Structure 1
């Protein structure tokens, strides 16, 4: 690292010492060892030179995001500067990774070529394109990473297709409005402030994007204390035995759905059932998904719509509804939306087979014969989605038609598999409980068995 970069980095109080090292190296590459990055290093004839940008930020950056970053670094319009210094370069990183709401507001406005103040409204179309550029760069980063969890998904056929990535960006932007499906033309500063505070997915994607663009943790020997962004991808379990997995959802769908799960389920998805692999059999599906804990049901209908539900309770055959208000329904194609539970009723999930007087099938939300999602047991392969569903807020019919044919159906357990009653009992036993001989020897020697004094009482 050159002395100039070291001196500049040392002056930037926004950065930790570890961050100074990495950002100074990235700045040196962009500025050709000088104390400023010139506009012409990044811009040619008023347009972003993608080739030059790729040398600095790598091939994963979306061209639109490159232009937004240039707007922040150099300004836009008549006030555009010819160069920027290290502090401005560092501010772009810090404000995006751990900035306050006001700092992130300022970055968003400046990146979109506007001055930030409370009275200025932001065109929604600009905000949408900004979110799409973040989502696009985020997926490019995922696809370029050597992370095992990302590579397992990718090698099994889960891609980051452009149309789905665009839908992910649109969904993130649409949440700026109370009703995501109501079109708006402008966003007020108040709307944007609340949106930036509540939109955890946007913040996590932005964080990972800038950590990568600025060269943080580029090598594996860097300090573990250095701030790093979460991957947002769960670790997939159960796909290894299948070399040709028939994936029909996208990396963008996995990111979107995982971000909406309760946090303690986000680390792992366990493959349970696929209609393409295990056959179109309701009995087979029911057998494979019972006693597996919380799960995601994902369905593709014969029109290409992809939708489903998050069930919080283990599936079990029976006449009653189960589940909790953490459950939700969702759609991921042609657009991405999540419909959380209401308090109107508790009809979250239902599974039954071979019943004489009750529906046979899998149902989430609504009423018998009018479910938010219904998968028929016999004949398997048919389903329906009601026009309305009071169990889930903002619900709109998920399938293209009220009744549909199932093209694909899969079920994933999320989080760790719950212990069976036998496994739970065994875990509560101490080593001495399993070895009466050792217990007797301690008694003969007059030794105290301390574990018995601190063992938790059994549940009532």
Structure 2
């Protein structure tokens, strides 16, 4: 599901109409709060208003009718690091909520967060636009005194705290969708890389500082910022709404032999890759090949990735660079280029980047075996002998010859060296194969070629004609049950 569509659909339900004097409840001082509350459904407003009393809990005193930092921290234990709680608290305290004759005033950090400030904060995070969320991000990115601008370093540090909190929520709240962090890569490194990648989407400025206008444009173009903030607030403050946040940063994962498998991916890397995929490819990820499980066997890899729908290839070279490609259609062994413009190349270490089609040519995917005149191996982008990503059929070696950039995807050299040595590789199928791709998969009788696709691939390599294809007996109704 496209995150932008999620926000668009949600805003159509909850955006309020014109506020009139008759529609405002309470005195003039509460008009701003009521205006923000009207963004929520009528049935959700009591739950939103109840957050303030719930945060105070047993710590509430007649002398101080505010939410203090210890109160907020108590609610978010196990959900967010203390540094992120401090950012939230400072942001809430900075909100202008009480109009006066001389203008607007805001509470100080020492006085805590009043009810009006909290309600405005909730409305802007959960139902606000990029324009309304930009001042919040500005406040949360600042460490010292308030300023009208922030540096790239400040935004990066804010994102690291936010992403770390989201990873903690996914783990502690059981939202992992079948992934096993203990059998995956280092999330702390992934947090830093994902924060840097998201910050790279900020448009450069002459002074290398960013104001609310710059942040507004950035939040609109990088909707994960809003999504992560929503997750943190909904889970950390236990906000129960009738329309719950249904989008998750992680794709589901099924049928992975975690007891024998150590994944190249980590949670933040999945959070980076999932939004890059086309909307149609949001089904459960299935591991169809791994050098750890199946060895360095090109024929076994071909048997795993062909006829299984869209796939994501992940490669690690012996110098630590991790990169790969997304293939939108099923792979086929043939001496021609295949694929479409939805394919892309990417890197995840030493930095996270995605490189999409330039439209310059149609050299998206190439997979070939047992040819004497054409290259034998797997390639994506570029041209013969100069692929953006190439894995030789002898396995173990490949290249990323993209100087200055790959013509198909405008990707730079992905591997540490132009010609690299493979350390490990994984292939993930991203949705169930269609009926035409199943190739007689099911409960009925199977040919030996179906039972062992490696045998089929070996026969094809030796030039054997598979006469049994197309000559199988039809299954009767009893056998199909």
Query: TM-score range, shorter-chain basis?
Result: 0.7 to 0.9
Structure 1 distance, partners of 2:41, 2:331, is: 48
1:188 Cα shift?
Answer: 4.8
Q: CA deviation at 1:162?
A: 0.9
2:237 corresponds to 1:214: yes
What is residue 208 of structure 2 aligned with on the other side? 185
Q: CA deviation at 1:246?
A: 1.8
Answering whether residue 89 of structure 2 is matched by residue 70 of structure 1, we say yes
Name the residue aligned to 1:91: 120
Residue pairs, 1:117-196, within 5 angstroms: 120-147=148-175, 150=176, 152-154=178-180, 157-158=183-184, 161-177=187-203, 185-196=208-219
Runs of 4+ in 1 over 6 A off after TM superposition: 421-424
**1:349-360 alignment, distance < 5 Å:** 349-360=365-376
Q: Pick from 364, 378, 382: which aligns with 2:397?
A: 382
Residue 238 and residue 184 in structure 1: after superposition, are their counterparts in 2 closer, same or farther (change >3 A)?
Answer: farther
Q: Mapping of 1:258-407 within 5 angstroms? A: 258-378=274-394, 380-388=395-403, 389-407=405-423
In structure 2, what is the equivalent of residue 445 of structure 1? Answer: none
Contact 1:22/1:215 (CA < 8 Å) preserved in 2?
A: no
- For structure 2, the residue ranges without an aligned partner over 5 or more in a row are 1-29, 96-105, 443-475
Looking at structure 2, the residues matched to 280 and 211 of structure 1 have their Cα atoms a distance apart, in angstroms, of 45
Change (3 A) 1:158 1:28: farther
Deviations 1:102-131 (A, max 9, x none): 101121223334768xxx443111111122
Could you list the per-position Cα deviations for residues 175-202 of structure 1 after superposition, in whole angstroms to 9, with x for gaps in the alignment?
Answer: 1137xxx998323544322221111222
Which secondary structure state, in structure 2, belongs to the residue aligned with residue 227 of structure 1? Answer: coil
- Structure 2 CA distance for partners of 1:128 and 1:208, relative to 1, 3 Å: same
**Other-structure match for 2:12:** none
Task: Tell me, yes or no, if the aligned pair for 2:177 and 2:253 is still in contact at 8 Å.
Answer: no
Work out the CA distance in 2 between the residues paired with 1:155 and 1:249: 9
Q: Secondary structure at the match of 2:126?
A: helix
Worse-superposed segment, 324-333 or 229-238: 229-238
Q: Name the structure 1 match of 2:456.
A: none
Secondary structure of 1:164's aligned partner: helix
- Name the counterpart of 2:460: none
Cα 1:111–1:101, aligned 2, differ >3 Å: closer, same or farther? same
Deviation at 1:55, TM superposition (A): 1.4
Q: CA deviation at 1:397?
A: 1.2
Whether 1:236 aligns to 2:253 is: yes
Distance 2:183 2:43 in 1: 37
CA distance in 2, matches of 1:188, 1:309: 36
Distance 2:282 2:426 in 1: 18
TM-superposed CA distance for 1:238, in Å, is 2.4
Instruction: Write the distance in 1 (CA, Å) between the matches of 2:129 and 2:184.
Output: 35
Q: Which stretches in structure 1 are left out of the alignment for 5+ residues?
A: 1-7, 43-48, 218-222, 427-433, 436-460
1:33 positional shift: 4.1
Using the size of structure 1 for normalisation, the TM-score is 0.78
Count matched residues. 395
- Answer yes or no: is the 8 Å Cα contact 2:65–2:114 preserved in 1: yes
Given that 1:14 and 1:90 are in contact with CA atoms closer than 8 Å, whether structure 2 keeps it comes out as: no
Deviation at 1:156, TM superposition (A): 6.5
- 2-side partners of 1:186 and 1:309: how far apart? 34
1:417 Cα deviation from its structure 2 partner: 1.9
**1:220 corresponds to:** none
Change (3 A) 1:190 1:27: closer
Distance 2:46 2:384 in 1: 61
Q: Which residue of 2 aligns with 1:253?
A: 269
Change over 3 Å in CA distance of 1:244–1:356 after alignment to 2: same
Q: 1:170 to 1:212 in 2, by over 3 A?
A: same
Provide closer, same or farther for how the CA distance between residues 84 and 190 of structure 1 changes in structure 2, counting only shifts above 3 A: closer
Which residue of structure 2 lines up, in the alignment, with residue 448 of structure 1? Answer: none
Counterpart CA distance in 2 for 1:395 and 1:159 is 24
Secondary structure at 2:286's aligned position in 1? Answer: strand
CA deviation map 1:124-152 (0-9, x unaligned): 111111222211111111111123xx162
Deviations 1:220-239 (A, max 9, x none): xxx7x423141121111221
Tell me how far apart the structure 2 counterparts of residues 188 and 124 of structure 1 sit (CA, whole Å).
Answer: 11
Task: State the alpha-carbon separation in 1 of the partners of residues 206 and 287 from structure 2.
Answer: 37
CA contact (8 A) 1:299 1:406 kept: yes
- Root-mean-square deviation (CA), in Å? 3.1
The secondary structure found in structure 1 opposite 2:360 is coil
Cα 1:61/1:281, change in 2 over 3 Å: same
Which shifted more, 293-302 or 192-201?
Answer: 192-201
